[in-house]
Amino acid sequence: MQPKQRETHMTTPSLKIGFIGLGIMGAPMAGHLIKAGHALYVYTRSKVPAEIAGAAIVCVDAHDVASRADIILTMLPDTPDVAKVLFGDKGIASGLTAGKLVIDMSSISPVDTKEFAQKIEALGCDYLDAPVSGGEVGAKNATLSIMVGGTPLAFERAKPVFEAMGKNITRVGNSGDGQTCKVANQIVVALTINAVAEGLLFAARAGADPAKVREALMGGLATSRILEVHGERMVKRTFNPGFRIALHQKDLNLALSSAKSLGLALPATSTAQQLFSACVAHGGAAWDHSAMVQALEKMSNFEIGQTPTS
């Protein structure tokens, strides 16, 4: 009788990861990397969240992060922010040595992303664009969808990092394709917010209980994550971000400018952008993007939750 073999458990080896950008999305994403047992080196211009500061190594600048970590992640608001952190004074590029991996998880221009990738690869390093979808809830629950552009080898190397933060992880294609996928995602999200807002506003103005209408719609073909999460926000009037209108406007600008260069017509996207602009005109740049409903409410002189007078 052969001796019983002792069971072994495979564990993901600890990685030295840098993280730059600890905002609404970045802070919980970084937290999951710490929970997964990775060594984390962080830098942010604002205050490091207490739950991160207590477990991460706080660096003095982006150069410091890049020189100490093997895989460097960025999660920043816009294309110029990423460009500055990558290539500005004491930026990531100045701290890189051959063999490191840079992953940008921001939502930025696909065209600029391809240029960034070429510059990083010229230094003997790998580059992935890996924007995310799922919002603050997805970031906190580690259920983000991650859309990746870059080489298959770099993608496989990054998988343990992605798996700590998300569930639906897809290599879409080469450099820039992850960002292209994210722009498409933002078109669909904006138009779905518009549809949910119009549907609930119509129901409320017609005298039906919008909360009950939403509940009923959740069981049919109209169901969606937007109806579930943002429909509830519209009914309960909870418009703290979340995902700010100003950031969604930035993404739709990318969609519309790219569409123009490609000779595409995106009329519904243009309408959604105008509704966001109306919110901004009323001081709503920092509102959650579900607050698009308020632009429709102002045009209709009626608010979801209000009792119809006739």
For 228-284, the pLDDT digits (tens) are 999 999 999 999 998 999 999 999 999 999 999 999 999 999 999 999 999 999 999
Alpha helices of the chain — where are they, by DSSP H?
A: 26-35, 50-53, 62-68, 79-87, 92-95, 110-121, 135-141, 152-163, 177-205, 210-217, 225-236, 245-262, 267-281, 292-300
Distance CA 308, CA 300 (A): 12
Does this model's pTM top 0.85? My answer is: yes
Distance CA 53, CA 48 (A): 6
pLDDT, position 51: 83
Neighbouring C-beta atoms of residue 219, cutoff 10 Å: 8
pLDDT, position 11: 53
- Between helix 177-205 and helix 210-217 the angle, nearest 10°, is 130
Burial label for 89, CB within 10 Å (0-12, 13-18, 19+), is exposed
- Report whether 271 contacts 282 (CB < 8 A): no
| 131, 161, 241, 254, 302 from 36: Cα distances, Å | 20, 9, 27, 34, 48
Beta bridge partner(s), residue 40:
17
Distance CA 88, CA 212 (A): 52
Distance CA 106, CA 91 (A): 16
Phi, psi angles (nearest 5°) of residue 103? -125, 115
Tell me, yes or no, if 4 is annotated catalytic: no
pLDDT, position 7: 40
Phi, psi angles (nearest 5°) of residue 3? -65, 145
pLDDT, position 12: 59
User: Which of 47, 84, 140, 182 is flagged as catalytic?
Assistant: 182
Question: How far is residue 32 CA from its own chain's centroid?
Answer: 15
Read off the tokens for 108: 């930025």
Length of the chain equals 310
Distance CA 144, CA 135 (A): 8
Residues in the chain predicted with pLDDT less than 70, given as ranges, are 1-12
